[in-house]
A and B are shown apart, each in its own frame.
Chain A
């Protein structure tokens, strides 16, 4: 069968001309040409709908700041820490680290009431405000300053147009200061378990103050909620540690004071139903083993 000329299909799709009788007959019987014409028409329709998309408004400044702040809470996930290592020689988690060790290589910044206000404004944008509040950390700023290199601070400054005059000074001085560091006792990369899609992943860290920092990404959508467990792989006994709010993000959960992490060494994230059944559903999404 002789198909219609592709140029002709383009012109028909754009409404440049009407199909003549022969073409109409062919299109009526030819799936290939008909499909191509439909596709071209659809694309032309999308093209006509793009007109408003050339002057989209800029995102508000706090959005970028929120991205940095959120990335900052997971900056010691190995993949991310990798990028920082050269810049931040002590960023690697390890039991030997002091929580308050001063860093001679960074200038100390004078406290500023103006910049002191910023982390609060930023924190309101965080999807995990409870976790951040629970963390009781002095400010998102200090964490960001610690882990993100200077360019990041500078672009935040540039983005926050309204505050540039004040914050510019901060950028010049260097938005870094030695920040209290949580000592990490143990950590575990979390990988997709069983039939969970492979892009689901996460990381768990146990802090010396008895809290579990959990980062998860790309958890599959579930009809209920996510629950975090510590499992003893020998006995398969387990502690429920808490629940997660979203399919990606961070949580800081208090660990049971009596848990022995040598025995309860497996971190597990499960999918749970709102079914009034407190036990593990058996549907594990992520797992990893704590080491450290």
Chain B
């Protein structure tokens, strides 16, 4: 009984804080903002299908759900705020105009959007580097353009955050306790009242989902199973 109460309050807290999360955002729009309710498992990605089909309401929904994540990618990698906003805008415009090229079998909509955003960030950094070389010849001090943060790392974090938010509540909660609070499995079992074996199994399954998602949607190179190397 105590465990159930605990779990409920945990879910409520997560729901409240995840309200703006990119991950939460992949759920049906009706779920956004309904903190405290049991989140439903993510349905087949009907938003992605509508987006691809050219449904304009899907553009707005995609922006509502993923705009924060794309803007975060841009602001954390580009020093200039207006550059970052330009890149975010350009990302959604390019995504909409190029929606035919989105292949849902190769990754999620947010993974695809972040991929476009990542490329636009890199283009912007390169363009700025060229401008700087030109500017240097006339001996002016260029403004810094890059924050030095690696766009790939930002994309990876956003993708993993998204997947984390999509996990079943139990799995997500156990992983958050392990990641954020650095608790051991035994401590998690004690804190939550969930049997140790169940904790381990939630964490194992959650980790498997995060890893799979990173392999599909992540940007950074890394060890990948051969079958997935092209799937991004």
Contact = CB atoms under 8 A, between A and B. Distances in A.
Interface of A: 6-7, 10-11, 13-14, 16, 35-36, 38-40, 42-44, 46-51, 53-60, 62-64, 66-67, 70-71, 74, 77, 79-80, 82-83, 125, 127, 148-149, 151-152, 155, 199, 201, 215, 217-218, 221, 223, 246-249, 274
B49 to A, nearest CB: 15
Q: Is the interface of A mostly helix, strand, loop or mixed?
A: helix
A43 B161 contact: no
Given A10-B207, A38-B223, A79-B97, A54 B20 contact: yes
Interface residues of B, number: 63
Given A43-B210, A83-B54, A249-B90, A63 B101 contact: no
A46 B20 contact: no
B93 A148 contact: no
A152 B60 contact: yes
Given A39-B222, A50-B160, A55-B17, A221 B126 contact: yes
A43 B185 CA distance: 18
B67 A7 contact: no
Contacts of B120: 248
Which A-B residue pairs are the 5 nearest by beta carbons?
A: A50-B161, A56-B68, A35-B223, A53-B161, A46-B160
Q: Is the interface of B mostly helix, strand, loop or mixed?
A: helix
Nearest to B57: A151
Given A36-B223, A54-B17, A217-B94, A14 B203 contact: yes
Nearest to B185: A16
A40 B175 CA distance: 13
A48 B54 contact: no
B88 A71 contact: no
Contact of B179 (A11, A16, A51, A66): A51
Given A59-B63, A71-B93, A217-B98, 12 more contacts: A42-B222, A44-B207, A54-B21, A54-B24, A56-B20, A59-B71, A63-B71, A67-B92, A151-B56, A152-B56, A155-B60, A246-B90
Given A7-B204, A40-B211, A48 B179 contact: yes
